[in-house]
């Protein structure tokens, strides 16, 4: 009977390597984060924060992939919500490759009905 799991116990498929990517939040550097709707022209991401997740990244492509992974693993049920109270702030629309990656992330957050103010990016 010991091998039977508790029905309320959640199964965590996160690997050890993935756990290392999700760093604990450090409030001392929280002020250095930029909101997702800022202009990221000529800026390189170091990490991003979404709710209780803080994830390191190598570049913009990496940040998009890791964001999609977190959304798919942890927010997939929020896509089914019919009503959401998300207000869109004014997004700076300067043309740059970095802002195109940013716009992709914004589209994903909106699809998963996540408030844009919950997503912060630490840049160099």
CA-CA distance, 96 to 93, in Å (whole number)? 9
pTM of the model: 0.69
Output the six-digit token pair for 4: 């039977």
Q: Summarize pLDDT for 40-56 with one digit per residue, the tens.
A: 999 999 999 999 999 99
Choose among 95, 93, 106, 1: nearest CA to 118.
Answer: 106
Q: Summarize pLDDT for 44-91 with one digit per residue, the tens.
A: 999 999 999 999 999 999 999 999 999 999 988 876 665 566 666 777
Q: What's residue 9's pLDDT?
A: 43
Beta carbons of 118 and 51 less than 8 angstroms apart: yes
Choose among 46, 51, 52: nearest CA to 121.
Answer: 46
């Amino acid at each position: 009977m010991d091998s039977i799991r508790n029905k309320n116990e959640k199964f965590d498929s996160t690997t050890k390597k993935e756990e290392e990517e999700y760093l604990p939040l450090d409030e001392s550097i929280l002020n250095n984060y930029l909101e997702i709707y800022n202009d990221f022209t000529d800026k390189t991401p170091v990490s991003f924060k979404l709710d209780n997740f803080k994830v390191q990244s190598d570049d913009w492509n990496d940040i998009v992939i890791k964001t999609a992974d977190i959304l798919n693993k942890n927010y997939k049920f929020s896509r089914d919500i019919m009503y959401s109270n998300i207000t869109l702030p004014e997004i700076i629309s300067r043309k740059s490759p970095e802002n195109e990656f940013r716009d992709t992330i914004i589209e994903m957050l909106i699809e998963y009905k996540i408030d844009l103010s919950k997503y912060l990016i630490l840049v160099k």
